[in-house]
Amino acid sequence: MTASRQVVPEFARRMLAVVLLLTMATIPAAPSRAQQATSEIFRLLTFQVGDSGPRLGATRGDGLEDIVDVHNAVTYLYRAGAPEAATLPAIPIDLRSSIEAGDVPLQAVRSVHATMLRLRAAGRFAEPGADRRVFHPPGGVQYLPPIQNPSKVMSLAGAYQRRAPDGTPGAYDDAEYPSFFFKSPASLTGHATDINLWGLLTTGVYEPEFAVVIGKTARAVPASEALDYVVGYTIMNDVSSRDLPQGQHGTQGGSMSKSLDTFTPLGPYLTLKGDVPNPNDMDIAGFIDGERHVWPVPNGNTSYLTFTVEETIAYLSERMTLLPGDVIATGVPQPTMTFAEGQLVEITIGNLGTLRNRVVSEPIPGHRPISPRRAGARSR
């Protein structure tokens, strides 16, 4: 009896190992994130068509695939009696609200997008069109900032290491804490929109920045847990002016020169964090009229950040409560780039796509720029 009790478990163990090996041999290996084609990456966005107002959209890739109007797609599935509609959770009307509601509605959006692609490929979809249109060509929509009305838009200053070839540290490489400033959420604009100099400037400065979007309320979180509070990433152009006439008090900082309307292009998409394997290893490239800007120091990658993404979130959350939808831009590899009216500005970061904006200078109709006050004078 003792011998049989020893033999049977050993036989069962060996048979189980054989079954597992055979099973694994029939399952194709999943591609690694590094191998994942950018064209397959899922994207979330906010857009509008005509005067429709903001719409929640989903697509994939880098702007070549159709955009699915998420809520029109849900309506279509219900009206068609599709079995997929029976298990769908509620999906809030906009992206920020969906983020606030947690991972379930975001995964539901992914499911809706995949379902609509599958139905169309199988010939089981008929486009309703007009106000109920489900699929939009990427060139047929107006891109809005992915996050509408975030409570905070912040950016780092002096964020990238600038060590000389001999290893000598740059001005901010040994900083004790990150340096931050706020940008007005009202300065946000979307992909393929205009950056307007408003007739106040002849040139501007654009700063390609990798941006983090907060997914849930964060207060004093440790760096080791910081990415748990991130929903995804996007691209921000931290447009600024170096010669805008403005006050000289030290507390003003860069908030005025960086917060003109349209001075914060954001997008085109929100890419969920699961599709960004390492936020601390993202290549950053800037282009003006198609010509790539090459930095004199090869630090165009988030691996050169003096403070990691996790350390940055921990630092900020210790000083203020971060809310779902808050945008944290991680600063620009130096030097910044100057652009002028009529030029096309593009930013490509890692696998996040390309943010593209045209520069214009259209003064406010009928507006006369305010002249500087003479010393000692007082307006009445």
Give one DSSP letter per residue of 302-315, joined into a string. Answer: GGGBSS-HHHHHHH
Instruction: Give me the phi and psi of 337, to 5 degrees please.
Output: -120, 140
pTM: 0.87
pLDDT tens-digit series, residues 53-110: 999 999 999 999 999 999 999 999 999 999 989 999 999 999 999 999 999 999 999 9
**Would the pLDDT of 192 be above 80?**
yes
**Domain ranges, ordered by start, for the chain:** 38-142, 147-360
- Topology annotation, domain 147-360: Fumarylacetoacetate hydrolase; domain 2 (3.90.850)
What average pLDDT does the segment 313-332 reach? 97
Average pLDDT, the chain: 86
**Would the pLDDT of 11 be above 70?**
no
Stated length of the chain: 380
What average pLDDT does the segment 239-258 reach? 78
pLDDT tens-digit series, residues 293-303: 765 546 789 99
pLDDT at 116: 98
Measure the CA–CA gap between 97 and 71, rounded to whole angstroms. 14
Close Cβ partners of 371 (under 8 Å, ≥ 6 residues apart): none
Structure tokens at 91: 């999906």
CA 304 to the chain's CA centroid: 19
